[in-house]
């Protein structure tokens, strides 16, 4: 979740802004539940991204958390930049392994499949971290 990605304590109540197309009626219908379950101080519809906020996305729904809500942007950028470098190194290792004919011919099929799955998981994590870094840099 964006809250955990931004390392905001679960107990802290947040202001959340959102922009929705088809989901607007759904958000309004479940507003009390969303406020309670997400531990929100407020939930407000906006047309534009509020200044100094980080965006999260879900289908046709965009939500924004103001950076002033206890988010330490520089710390997060540094931390996620380091994580991105670790991911890139691991990706390189797995890609080399899967391009090695010796590995492919001698390794058990289960090991090859695990390596492919790990590679796919790392690619997805890389996309997520890159998107988060972009959002943090734009905040």
- Residue closest to 35 by CA, chosen among 18, 52, 56, 59: 18
Tens-digit pLDDT profile for residues 55-71: 777 777 788 888 775 66
Task: Spell out the domain ranges in the chain.
Answer: 2-66, 73-138
- Give the mean model confidence (pLDDT) for residues 9-28: 85
- Residue closest to 14 by CA, chosen among 59, 74, 71, 52: 71
Q: How many CA atoms lie within 13 A of 20 on its CB side?
A: 17
Scan for tokens 């890609």, then name that residue.
95
Task: Please tell me whether the overall predicted TM-score, pTM, comes out greater than 0.85 for this model.
Answer: no
- Multiple choice CATH, 73-138, 1.10.357, 1.10.150, 1.10.600, 1.10.287: 1.10.287
Mean pLDDT is lowest, of 7-11, 28-32, 86-90, 117-121, for 7-11
End-to-end CA distance of the chain: 17
């Amino acid at each position: 979740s964006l809250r955990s990605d931004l390392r905001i304590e679960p107990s802290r109540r947040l202001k959340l802004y959102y922009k929705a197309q088809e989901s607007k009626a759904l958000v309004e219908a479940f507003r009390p539940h969303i406020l309670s379950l997400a531990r929100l101080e407020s939930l407000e519809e906006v047309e534009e991204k509020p200044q100094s906020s980080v965006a999260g996305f879900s289908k046709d729904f965009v939500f924004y958390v103001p950076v002033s809500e206890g988010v330490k942007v520089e710390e997060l950028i540094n931390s996620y930049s380091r994580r991105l470098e670790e991911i890139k190194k691991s990706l390189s290792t797995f890609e080399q392994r899967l391009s090695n004919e010796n590995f492919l011919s001698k390794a058990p099929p289960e090991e090859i499949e695990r390596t492919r799955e790990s590679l796919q998981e790392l690619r997805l994590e890389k996309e997520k971290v890159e998107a988060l870094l972009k959002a943090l840099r734009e905040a």
